[in-house]
Chains A and B, each alone.
Chain A
């Protein structure tokens, strides 16, 4: 275990390794963003399939649930021999997890739309595309954002796990810290990924807030500003 005299954080190490810190952060963020975007795109496709052909709900849900029960460590371990150590393995694994997490959120986000609202959109002569763009997407957005937040935070955590398999990111620090008995690296890895998760979450909250003014209670700062002008 850790040597007793070793301090939890060696600040001098931190100061002299800022570039490495940045490099790991970029790796972590890069893996996250790529698999988040891919996962979201596939989840969107699956969601529209489910919405168009309701009978596909069962098979798709079963498939995603089965995938979800595979432990991340096992999935990484299974894929590495096939694809080798590179970005392919983490991207496949992380994309899979994001679509598994996100798809049910997306389906329920659209199912929650009040049916009379859709009825009204049709009755007013909107085409399918107009209804999707100007009614369904904006109305479902708050629930979509909620799903994206869970997904983003989940992926960031999983990238950390991937680090244990030498896939880069903040998990690399933890892996190295454990092997070298160097607590500073472990602390840096853990705190780094937590901060990244918080930042991603806050970003999504902000986007949701800006894009859904109708969900804001009256008397918020924006209204006050509007009233003042």
Chain B
């Protein structure tokens, strides 16, 4: 992986009230997003996630407070200069219908005055990066499926190697299977590229799956910022707890593989035990325990038993705040 070259983002006491609305959309937001981090903003509809995101690229200006990118206020330079260094992906993609896929991807490099040959090279590279068939580059957006359009949206946003990528519910318009694949690809892309990513979602599963850290918003305020595991281990208040749902123990187990949870100090005795591969998510152990009625499962690596897990051990793991043994 390359060094993260992403930029840090900081909100300093940012408030936003839209004209003609009674309650502010955002009140005194203080939040720091580290360079290269993938920060997920999650919360119920209307709680101010989109507003927060659009404050970063100044599609919305704050009523008070300041937004800083790499330590400098976003108002330091012309807004166009700021925006050309910030990729933006939205649910409805917003591809330019009159431009081919290649032309769509080339938008920002063109605005920046890159040479035609550099642009062509970069477009090819991006198509490969986001998994777009090369033949699609000559087509128009209307000829692509929803999943393909979303990939083009990501490629277009990344074209000029922005140090920040903003994504507003990027996967909520595609079907669950495509969504899951796009999520995996985004996680890998983030590893490779090192851009700071701020992703908005109302889906807590997506949030804990993708985020290095997760910021949970209640109406107009930040309720908690934490790693997915810490969030589910210790919700800051009743709002966060109810937003995370009644199955947060299972969610926490889903974040780990059996290999990470297994107790390797005891070699299992009974040969008839249920065997599970170490690569499976932690919650599959709970499922197997419930389904078989057994009191322990054996965990295997390449078919060889390396240890076991009992319900009591899982309970103990979940009782520790960081979930480590």
A positions within 8 Å CB-CB of B: 114, 116-127, 130, 135, 138-139, 141, 212, 214, 218
Does B90 make an interface contact (CB < 8 A)? yes
Does B81 make an interface contact (CB < 8 A)? yes
**Smallest CB gap from A126: residue in B:** B111
CB distance A114 to B94 under 8 Å?
Answer: yes
Does B142 make an interface contact (CB < 8 A)? yes
Query: Which residue, B97, B111, B166, has most C-beta atoms of chain A within 10 A?
Result: B97
CB distance B140 to A125 under 8 Å?
Answer: no
CB distance A139 to B98 under 8 Å?
Answer: yes
CB distance B94 to A125 under 8 Å?
Answer: no
CB distance B83 to A125 under 8 Å?
Answer: yes
Instruction: A33 to B100: give the CA distance in the assembly, Å.
Output: 34
Total number of B residues with any Cβ neighbor in A under 8 Å: 29
Instruction: A116 to B170: give the CA distance in the assembly, Å.
Output: 13
Query: Which residue, A123, A130, A135, has most C-beta atoms of chain B within 10 A?
Result: A123
B positions within 8 Å CB-CB of A: 57, 59, 79-84, 86, 88, 90, 92-100, 107-108, 111, 139-140, 142-143, 156, 166
**Smallest CB gap from B92: residue in A:** A116
With A116-B90, A214-B140, A218-B143 as contacts: A124 and B98 at CB distance below 8 Å: no
Q: List 10 A-B contacts (CB under 8 A).
A: A116-B92, A116-B93, A116-B94, A120-B90, A124-B156, A125-B111, A138-B98, A139-B98, A214-B98, A214-B99
Instruction: A50 to B187: give the CA distance in the assembly, Å.
Output: 45
A contacts with B: majority SS: helix
Q: Find A122's partner among B83, B100, B140, B156 (CB 8 Å cutoff).
A: B83
CB distance B98 to A127 under 8 Å?
Answer: no
CB distance B81 to A125 under 8 Å?
Answer: yes
**Smallest CB gap from B104: residue in A:** A120
Query: Which residue, B82, B83, B98, has most C-beta atoms of chain A within 10 A?
Result: B98
With A123-B59, A125-B80 as contacts: A117 and B111 at CB distance below 8 Å: no
Instruction: A118 to B59: give the CA distance in the assembly, Å.
Output: 11
Instruction: A120 to B150: give the CA distance in the assembly, Å.
Output: 13
Q: Which residues of B contact A212 (CB under 8 A)?
A: 98
With A125-B81, A127-B80 as contacts: A119 and B94 at CB distance below 8 Å: yes
Instruction: A117 to B97: give the CA distance in the assembly, Å.
Output: 8
Q: Find B95's partner among A117, A130, A141, A218 (CB 8 Å cutoff).
A: A117
**Smallest CB gap from A135: residue in B:** B96
Q: Tally the A-B contacts, defined by beta carbons under 8 Å.
A: 65
Q: Which residues of B contact A214 (CB under 8 A)?
A: 97-100, 140, 142
Q: Which residues of B contact A120 (CB under 8 A)?
A: 88, 90, 93-96, 156
With A117-B97, A119-B59 as contacts: A130 and B83 at CB distance below 8 Å: no
Instruction: A114 to B80: give the CA distance in the assembly, Å.
Output: 22
Q: Which residues of B contact A116 (CB under 8 A)?
A: 90, 92-94
Instruction: A86 to B225: give the CA distance in the assembly, Å.
Output: 77
CB distance B96 to A125 under 8 Å?
Answer: no
Shortest CB distance B150–A (Å): 12
Instruction: A130 to B112: give the CA distance in the assembly, Å.
Output: 12
Closest 7 CB pairs of A and B: A116-B94, A120-B94, A125-B83, A123-B88, A125-B84, A116-B92, A125-B80
Instruction: A103 to B98: give the CA distance in the assembly, Å.
Output: 23
Q: Which residues of A contact B166 (CB under 8 A)?
A: 123
CB distance A117 to B96 under 8 Å?
Answer: yes
Instruction: A135 to B97: give the CA distance in the assembly, Å.
Output: 9
CB distance A139 to B94 under 8 Å?
Answer: no
Query: Which residue, B83, B95, B96, has most C-beta atoms of chain A within 10 A?
Result: B96
Q: Which residues of B contact A118 (CB under 8 A)?
A: 94
Shortest CB distance B149–A (Å): 11
Q: Which residues of A contact B90 (CB under 8 A)?
A: 116, 119-120
Q: Which residues of A contact B139 (CB under 8 A)?
A: 218
Q: Which residues of A contact B80 (CB under 8 A)?
A: 125-127
Shortest CB distance B194–A (Å): 21
CB distance A124 to B92 under 8 Å?
Answer: no
**Smallest CB gap from B159: residue in A:** A124
**Smallest CB gap from B143: residue in A:** A218
Q: Which residues of B contact A138 (CB under 8 A)?
A: 98
**Smallest CB gap from B85: residue in A:** A125
